[in-house]
Structure formats: C-alpha cells, structure tokens
Amino acid sequence: MKVIILENFVESKLKKNLSIVLFKYRLENDISRKELASHLNISLNTLTSIENGLSTPSLNTLFKYANYFNTTISIILKRAESDE
C-alpha cells in the first residue's frame, strides 16, 4: 500500500514538474500560447491544460515540443525529474 502511494506521489510530482518545464520552455523562447499551440498542431485549450498540469502531453506532443525547442524528450524529462 505504501509503495503505491509513493508511486502515485512521484507520478503526480513528475506531472506537475513536467508542466512547469514545458511552460518555462515557452517563456524562455518568448512565444505565446497561441503561437506554440499552432506550431505543435494542438488546440490552445490542450496547451493550456498541459501547462496548468491538468493533463499530461502525449508522447507525440512531447516529441513536437522537443523538435520545436531543439531538444530531446530525454532532456525535457530530466529537467522535470530534477525539480527545475
């Protein structure tokens, strides 16, 4: 039981950190949500939901983020894991 609770905590913390990291990528590159959503071919509502931690981006969306910001999914996830 304790292991499941810990796994859920780690998963929710990673999800929150991932949303923060993706938000920071957008801010660091001075791009609006509307513009980024268009480049990623996702809706503005989806992007807002991801950045607010309400939903988790699909692998395909993470790949699009990585390509757009000239990085890798691995680096994005490492930033999220390190509480950046």
At 42-56, the pLDDT tens digits run 999 999 999 999 999
CA–CA gap between residue 42 and residue 36 (Å, rounded): 9
**2-81 has which CATH code?**
1.10.260.40
What's the pTM? Answer: 0.83
Structural domain boundaries of the chain? 2-81
Q: Residue 8 corresponds to which tokens in the numbers above?
A: 């859920």
On whether the CB atoms of residues 22 and 76 are closer than 8 A, the answer is yes
Taking the chain, what is the end-to-end CA distance rounded to the nearest angstrom? Answer: 29
Average pLDDT over residues 4-16: 62
Residue 8's pLDDT band, with cuts at 50, 70 and 90, is low
Helices (H), ranges, 1-84? 2-28, 33-40, 44-51, 59-68, 73-81
